[in-house]
Structure 1
Amino acid sequence: MRVAVVGAGGWGEHHARIFSRREDTELVAVVGRTPDRTRARADKYGTTPYTDLDLMLERERPELITVCLPNEEHYEVTLKLVHTGIPLLVEKPLVFDLAEADTLLNDAGGNFFAINFNHRYAEPVQRAKALIDAGELGDLIFATWRFGGEANHGNSPHANLIETQCHGFDMLEHLVGPISAVSAHMTNKTYGAFSTIALALDFENRAVGTMLGTYDSSYAYPDTQHIEINGTEGRLVIHDTVRALTFSKPGDPVEQRWHSTYFDDESRTFAATFDRHVDALLQSLKAGNPPPVPAEAGRRALQLAHAAIESHKTGRRVST
């Protein structure tokens, strides 16, 4: 399968790495805005650099395009690519504006349009999902998401909420179920943007939850990413997305713990969660099935973020 990568930035390197090394894909192009940087990326992965998107589309005729651009600059390029009808994988966030999200989804129609919520493919997350689906936690009662590190400054005052905590919205709904209402508190005390947010959540299944997301912390701290889910029959905790999963039963002081083994480097590597997502994505694409994580999931995370913004502005609980 002929694959083109649009974006020559930091995480975009993982796009190039994955599709240049798979036996079932050929990386035919890297598209960037800066000629020297784009050429260096293309040279590293043995492909052709382009700074002209139209020229790349004409010459290379890719069968899949992946997009990894600066967080607040997704819309115009994504819309252009949606109109080509070529299968598309985009990085989160989908966009910052709900009307733009709706335009992208409407114009894509039934075309293959995926978003990279790669946290779903971490080994602890997949094991947690299996425990929940098997009923090992009983009825789910409450869930907690905490995630934060150093600031990623942007133009939007809600950059942390939309571009980073979108993983939290997606993960909690993936594991617990649809969120039905949001109540929000936010602070902009450090550098002017709402860099730390605290949310209270209601789920449709009558569970409750909390989210704490921040750009006023550090990714060096242990458990900077932490998910806890409690049910009537058990409790699980996901540590730092890929590091470990613990599972406990009521009244039992001995917990079960999964961690990657000595030779299992792949499952302890955060970047490998993207490789796993690509495995599932290509399998679906080749079979003519919808994406395993459709772009609609990006729109849903954005909807929840906008509900949190409305709650903070009005001081009210907002239905989602």
Structure 2
Amino acid sequence: MKVAIVGCGGLGNVHASCYAAIPGVTVVGVCDIEPDLREKLAERTGAKAYASFDEMLAQSGCDVVSVTLPSNLHKPFAIQAARAGKHVICEKPIALHLDDAAEMIRECEANGVRLFVGHVVRFFPEYAQMKRQIEAGSIGRVGVAHAKRIGGHPGLRRPWFMDDAQSGGVILDLMIHDIDFFRWSLGEVRSAYGLRTVEGDVDYASATLVFESGAVANVEAYWGYPGPFTTAAEIAGSKGVIRSDSSKSVSLQVRKAAAADAGGPFVEVPQSPGYRSPFELEIEHFIDCMRENREPLVTAQDAYKALEIGLAIVESTRTGRAVQFESAAREGSR
């Protein structure tokens, strides 16, 4: 399978590393408006560097396009790839507006290609294990959950993150990980309420989600934290509690040599205690879904729903009021 990558920043390099580890997959083209970035990634992968996305689609012979661009550019590039008959692996969020996300899904379906969206937290072993424990009933009926995701502001390295019109801010870029995880684990959301503070290089948001099951989740996301990137989750049920905290020691520790570009120009990428990168697990899963024509762990519709909840939180931060969702049951009764 031949893959092309548009967007040669941090996640473009992550995708390239993942493809290199998958047998039968070759990166045949890389594209970026910044010559230095595309040339460096071309040198790493042995692929041809393209300044023009049109030319890469026409000349590279790719079957799949990885879209690892700023979030506001996901829609036009994904649609162009779909119309060229290429499958699309797009980083999260799927888009910044629901109409754009819906159009991406429609265009991929109309052109007979697959659309995969990188909600990578589903592939982190600790989060997947929490999901399995909830499903198995290990903690009984879930009542209250909390998650946080904090780190330095990525806009200090890549300024487009500072612009909500390009990144969606801390809610649509960072909090959306835990939004998707809780919807995956706890079911559909009934209401969302949010607060947000932006001051200089600090972007902090918190949200309260009430689920159709009656469970309540509190979610925090924070850019500008002076310490290392940290994630934590706690889920309390009628029979027990599950906790995960990346800042605390774990029973299994795998030490790897520091990456050559550590501290370089790209933003932080969350790590997991597992030996295999969750990004590698995710990309390999998407490739297998294409090869075997099966549904992925995270669908494009899942990505749409995560965006819908994220946008509801954004709206709540502006109005000061909770946003209510129509339940599947109420919609089905109409």
**Smaller-chain TM-score bracket:** 0.7 to 0.9
Q: Secondary structure at the match of 1:164?
A: helix
| From 207, 227, 251, the counterpart of 1:259 | 251
Distance in 2 between residues matched to 1:296 and 1:154, nearest whole Å = 27
Structure 1 residue 198 displacement after superposition: 1.6
Structure 1 residue 274 displacement after superposition: 0.5
Distance in 2 between residues matched to 1:98 and 1:144, nearest whole Å = 26
Q: Give CA deviations for 1:220-279 in whole Å, capped at 9, x if unaligned.
A: 16xx311111111111112229x77xxxxxxxxxxxxx6325589996269811001122
Q: Give CA deviations for 1:168-202 in whole Å, capped at 9, x if unaligned.
A: 110111222222101122223x2298x21121110
Matched, 1:162 2:167: no
Instruction: Let me know the Cα RMSD of the aligned residues.
Output: 2.4
Structure 1 residue 75 displacement after superposition: 2.4
Change (3 A) 1:183 1:233: same
Which AA in structure 2 matches 1:226?
A
Structure 1 residue ranges without an equivalent (≥5): 245-257
Structure 2 residue ranges without an equivalent (≥5): 156-160, 258-270, 326-334
Change (3 A) 1:15 1:39: same
Distance in 1 between residues matched to 2:57 and 2:73, nearest whole Å = 20
Q: Which has the higher helix share?
A: 2
| From 130, 134, 152, the counterpart of 1:132 | 134
Change (3 A) 1:5 1:231: same
Asked whether the 8 Å contact 1:182–1:317 carries over to 2, the reply is: yes
Asked whether the 8 Å contact 1:137–1:232 carries over to 2, the reply is: yes
Which AA in structure 2 matches 1:33?
I
Name the counterpart of 1:102.
102
Q: Secondary structure at the match of 1:74?
A: helix
| From 230, 237, 254, the counterpart of 1:231 | 237
Q: TM-score if structure 1 supplies the norm length?
A: 0.86
Name the counterpart of 2:44.
44
Which AA in structure 1 matches 2:118?
N
Distance in 1 between residues matched to 2:71 and 2:227, nearest whole Å = 19
Q: After superposition, where does 1:1-320 map in structure 2 within 5 Å? A: 1-109=1-109, 111-151=113-153, 152=155, 153-156=161-164, 158-188=168-198, 190-191=199-200, 195-220=203-228, 224-240=230-246, 259-261=251-253, 268=273, 272-320=277-325
Change (3 A) 1:119 1:26: same
Distance in 2 between residues matched to 1:58 and 1:70, nearest whole Å = 23
Q: TM-score if structure 2 supplies the norm length?
A: 0.83
Asked whether the 8 Å contact 1:72–1:96 carries over to 2, the reply is: yes
Q: Which moved more, 1:201-210 or 1:148-157?
A: 148-157
State the percentage of identical aligned residues: 22
Change (3 A) 1:30 1:262: closer
Name the counterpart of 2:265.
none
